[in-house]
A and B are shown apart, each in its own frame.
Chain A
Amino acid sequence: MIARRVLLVEDSVLITSALRVLLESNGWDTWVSPTLTDAIGAVSDFRPDVILVDLTLPDGDGLDILSALSSETPPPKVFVMTGHDDDATRDRCLSAGCDAVLIKPVPTRDLVELIAGAMA
């Protein structure tokens, strides 16, 4: 069985170390990109099923990853993580085309359930 792949785009080593453990212990191959530029390259190299992306990245807006997905078939699901728990941020992310907005810290059970649902 081919392992499903998750691209994790997040610049905090503390957060990625925790999420990598969570994702890998659920059997998903995980690629960590600390920057938007690295993540855009990883989309074509790694071909993720799910992208878990932080909204604020050192070299840009996490939503800009969406523009790199136009040629991907089928397009991966994109879940945006943010610390800003407000309607304006949620509306901006959803209208840009991401599949879900997750407020940090995302309860791990909810995150696993969401990714498993996207992989099904």
Chain B
Amino acid sequence: MAEALKHILYKYPGKEQKDLIPILQDIQNENGYLSETHIQNLSKYLKIPEVKIYSIATFYNQFRFAPNAKYHIRICSGSACHVMGSDKLTETIKNTLEIQGNNRSKNGKISIEEIPCLGACALAPLIEINGIFHAKLNSQKLNRIINELLENQQ
């Protein structure tokens, strides 16, 4: 039982509910997301019903239930970026990359995520693609980035 999670779970011998969120954070940090198997194993270990784990995990913004795509775009939607025109950028990204309802492009190679604040309000509006920041964006700059992205994913 829970063999794959053993190295994380041994840190939480108490098996208490208060450990649930830190365990979920550890699993996500290692795997990038929470899979169904993770939740099943955790449910057995903590003796908390799966549905309850889901109800708690889905309450918080941090947890993801699917892995990010090869190219993961994080768009800052903080208030500074908003007044500098980030919603227009988001729209352009969604339209040109044909992002579907699940926040992924059709071929599944690009995923997007709107996050509260990336922490560089002086450089607003900005986005981050796989850890690289693109700051003080305008439509021309963004188009160039998108075109590069489209070429790379071919």
The answer to whether A and B interact is no
What is A's interface to B at a CB cutoff of 8 Å?
none
